[in-house]
Each structure stands twice: as C-alpha cells, then as structure tokens.
Amino acid sequence: MAYTVLARKYRSQTFDDVIGQDPIVQTLKNAIRTDRVAHAYLFAGTRGVGKTTMARVLAKALNCLSVDAPTTGPCCKCDGCIAINIGEDIDVIEIDGATNNGVEQVRELRQNAIYRPARSRFKIYIIDEVHMLTVPAFNALLKILEEPPSHVKFIFATTEPNKVIATIQSRCQRFDFSNIGPGQIAGQLKFVLEQEKIKYEEDLVLPLAKMANGSMRDGLSLLDRLISVGVEPLSVSLLEEFLGCPNSEKIWNLVAQIGAGDAAGTFAAIEDLISTGISEVQIVDSLVDYMRDLMVVKSTGAESELLILTGRQRKRAGELAEKFDVAALIYNIATLEKLRWAIKNSDRSRALLEASLLRFALSEHFLNVDELLRQLQTGSGAVKKKEPRSVKSQASSESPETRDEGRGTRDEGRASGIEHPASSIEHQTSKNEHRASRIENRGKTSGQKRNELINDPAVKTVLMGLDATITGVEENQ
C-alpha cells in the first residue's frame, strides 16, 4: 500500500476536527440545524488553512447516507462519506478552476446541473482556485449561481478573493479563513507525533510550528520531511540542519552583541551564521522575529501570552530586552523590513546586512540632524547624544544665588531709569540684525538650513569632539 503523507492522513473529517476556524464552523453548523444552508459559499484564505477540507466536511454533512437529513455530525463511514473523502463521489464534483477556466467548461457544468443527484440529497460543485476562471466564464456562471435548481449547491475556494468578480461574490456567502496560530499548530503536531509513536524533544515543536507561517498543511509537510531523516528523537538541531532554520542560539548571540554595542562581536556573530550556510535574508527574517519578541517583552512583560516561546527562551528574552528601549526596537524592525527587500535585489547583500546591523550596535555614535538643530536652537550649550534637556531641568540647574543675582541686576536697571545712548543704539542694532536674520531664515528651505548647519565650523568642532556623525540629511535633501 502506498504511503499517505501526514497532511492527507490527518485531514479533518468532521466540523469538530477543524482547527483554528471556530467562527466558521459554528456558523455552518447552525445553518444546518436551522435548515438555512445557502446555495453558494465562497471560502477565502491563504494556503493550508482548511478551505477545501471545510468544503468536503460540509458536503459530507449535507449528503451523509446514514441519516435521513443533513447533519452536523457525518458518520464518515457510509459509502457517500468515504467517496467524498477521496474525491470520487458522483454527486460531489470537485473542479480545478486553473484547468477548467473557460466558457465551455462552465456551459457543460450548467447543462449537467439540471439533472438530479444519483443517490444523494444534493449535487454539490466544489470549485477550487475559482479566481482562475476567466471573466467570460464567470459571466456564464452568473445565471445558474443566482437561481440554481433546489438540489444544487456551490462551494468555491480561493486564495485570491480580490480576483473574484463582484457579481459572483454578491451571490455567495463569503467566509474568510484566518491563519492558524502557532500554538494550535504545535498542538496538532504533538498529536500527530504521538499517534505515529515518534520520539521528539519538547523544544522542537514550537519552532516547527512557527516555520509553518499559519498553514497547518505546511506544518505537517515540514514534519513529514523531518521524520524522513530517520533520526530519533527529533530535535531542534535536526530542524536547523535539514530544514535550513537558523540556529536560535546564534541568533540570540547576534542580538546580544547588537544590544551590547559590540562592533567586533556583531561582525563575528554575522560570520558565524553565514558560515553555516544561512542566507542574509534568513538572518533578517529571524532578527525581525526576535526583535519583535523583545519589543513585546519591553511592552507587556516576559510572561505575555503574545509570546510563543519556551520557558528558557522567555527568560533569555527578558534578559536581552534590558539592553534595548522600545523606540530602538521599533526602529530596528522597520529598518530590517526595508533591508530585506534591498538585500534580495543587491549583489552586495552581506555588506548591506553588516552596515545595517553595525548601525544598530553603534546607534549612540549617530546623532540625528533634527536633534542637533533642536539643541542648538535652545542654546543648551554643549551637545549631548541621546540626552534631551527639558526646560524644567535647565531651570533647576540654576542656583538660587544666580537667580537672585540676575533679579537684582534687572531691578537696579529699572530703578535707575538711565540708559547710556551708545548702549541703546547698540541694543537697537542688535534687534534689527536679529529681525533681518529671522526674515532671511524664513525664506530658506529645511535642506538649506541643514547644509548650513553641517558646514558651520562650530558644529564641526562639536561633532569631532563627540566622535559623532550627522544623519537624516541625505534623506531630506
């Protein structure tokens, strides 16, 4: 007997077996109980989330031969249920929309639909990838879809609902299937491993579930590949060796070097990952996930349910999160997402990766031009990196004696009422020059102001003393 892959062997057989689509299951079961089953359904969602499986379960519920009416619990043992499971029932016709997408095929469907089912209650058409139909084929389907015979039901499945024309969607009840959470996929993977009597390490299941990206079928397919290696117990090291998953310890080490601001350590950690055959894109994808976990830890705590991590990983994430602030993590994630697309189209992907990660590690040495402008305009004196001064702190830094001395000088000036003519002229000239400077600056663009700031000798002296670099100029010119 031929081997059956896990994704088919453990396919859901009833509504209660379907994982991660509880609202849709509940709605369809209530429709069957109250005899309000629609004549056409559109199931939309990404790959491997249960669209075709749900269509088959609904077909079995409507046509199960062991009962006298549609049921929410098909027996899965009668001839009708078994034939539907393998796609060979004469009254449940499964059509591939990619290869049967023309007007002729739809015309043939319309001609056959008028005949009653051979042995079941309903003649059910399941059209997979319905968005592949041509516009003329969609238009040919409209009439029978709007007013089908009482014994006909249509179930459409698609991964791209935006390509299904509006006139078709308006004649269907649409259900959007959501991605399945890593926790639910992990639970199913554990169940499959126990049923198959395969030994495994606990730390394996969560990383494998996360690699599935919300698709149960992808998760079971990855598990199938791992079992084919023939090594027990299944471990994380096998996952990294045979499925190309980056080593979690090496990724954590890279994040730790970035958080510590260690330039040499960051380069070494990148080399350690690339030397194992991991691509730059995989490193970026892993960093986005790990930085996201740190952002959640900083915002909600290490025990948050938003984290899909083991106990040991939670503890380490909590320790590493102390080396970052939320603003830096947000910036890092956004920059990494942009970097991913740049790397995929660059011949110098490693240099781009190293430059970006080095900037993360040495962020204290990059002074944004907007921050420099603000500090110079407030007249706060020496420029300090990432230490914004507030008005309150500046006021509190003045001693009471200094404030009293200044107040006394002003009071003496008012009491005397005498002002030297030369001093008055000088003061007026200064006011006029300041007003002219403001008028001149008002007409300048932000880019011109920034260029003048960069070329100012005083600013250059300050930057050299700080060993800092101006950023934010090139993007705004």
What CATH number is associated with residue 199? Answer: 1.10.8.60
pTM exceeds 0.75, yes or no? no
What CATH number is associated with residue 19? Answer: 3.40.50.300
Residues 453 and 306 in one domain: no
How many other C-beta atoms are found inside a 10 Å radius of the C-beta of residue 202? 10
Confidence at residue 416, expressed as pLDDT on a 0 to 100 scale: 43
In this structure, is residue 139 part of a structural domain? yes
Residues 158 and 14 in one domain: yes
Residues 92 and 146 in one domain: yes
Give the amino acid at 454.
I
| β strands within 270-426, DSSP E | 366-368
User: What residues make up the domain containing 311?
Assistant: 248-361
User: CA–CA separation, 5 vs 221, rounded Å?
Assistant: 8
Give the amino acid at 206.
L
Residues 31 and 154 in one domain: yes
Name the domain boundary from 203, 226, 242: 242
**pLDDT tens per residue, the chain (477 residues)?**
578 899 999 999 999 999 999 999 999 999 999 999 999 999 999 999 999 999 999 999 999 999 999 999 999 999 999 999 888 899 999 999 988 888 999 999 999 999 999 999 999 999 999 999 999 999 999 989 988 999 999 999 999 999 999 999 999 999 999 999 988 999 999 999 999 999 998 888 988 998 898 999 999 999 999 999 888 888 888 888 888 788 888 898 999 999 888 899 999 999 998 988 888 998 999 999 999 999 999 898 888 888 888 778 888 888 888 888 888 899 999 999 999 889 988 888 999 999 999 989 887 655 555 555 666 666 554 444 444 333 344 444 444 444 454 444 444 444 444 444 444 445 555 555 555 555 455 555 555 656 666 666 655 655 565 555 555 544 444
SS3 95: strand
Q: Are the beta carbons of 351 and 270 closer than 8 angstroms?
A: no
Confidence at residue 419, expressed as pLDDT on a 0 to 100 scale: 45
Q: Please choose, from the candidates 316, 248, 309, the residue with its C-alpha nearest in 3D space to the C-alpha of residue 282.
A: 248
Give the amino acid at 61.
A
Residue partners of 75: CB distance under 8 A and separation at least 6: 64, 66, 67, 81
Residues 38 and 162 in one domain: yes
Confidence at residue 475, expressed as pLDDT on a 0 to 100 scale: 42
In this structure, is residue 460 part of a structural domain? yes
In this structure, is residue 418 part of a structural domain? no
User: CA–CA separation, 352 vs 280, rounded Å?
Assistant: 9
Residues 52 and 166 in one domain: yes
Residues 37 and 91 in one domain: yes
Name the domain boundary from 201, 219, 242: 242
Q: How many domains does the chain have?
A: 4
Residues 165 and 96 in one domain: yes
Q: Please choose, from the candidates 160, 122, 120, 125, the residue with its C-alpha nearest in 3D space to the C-alpha of residue 141.
A: 125
Residues 172 and 34 in one domain: yes
Confidence at residue 414, expressed as pLDDT on a 0 to 100 scale: 44
How many other C-beta atoms are found inside a 10 Å radius of the C-beta of residue 163? 13
Q: Are the beta carbons of 53 and 86 closer than 8 angstroms?
A: no
Confidence at residue 334, expressed as pLDDT on a 0 to 100 scale: 92
Residues 220 and 150 in one domain: no
User: CA–CA separation, 204 vs 192, rounded Å?
Assistant: 14
In this structure, is residue 427 part of a structural domain? no
Residues 187 and 334 in one domain: no
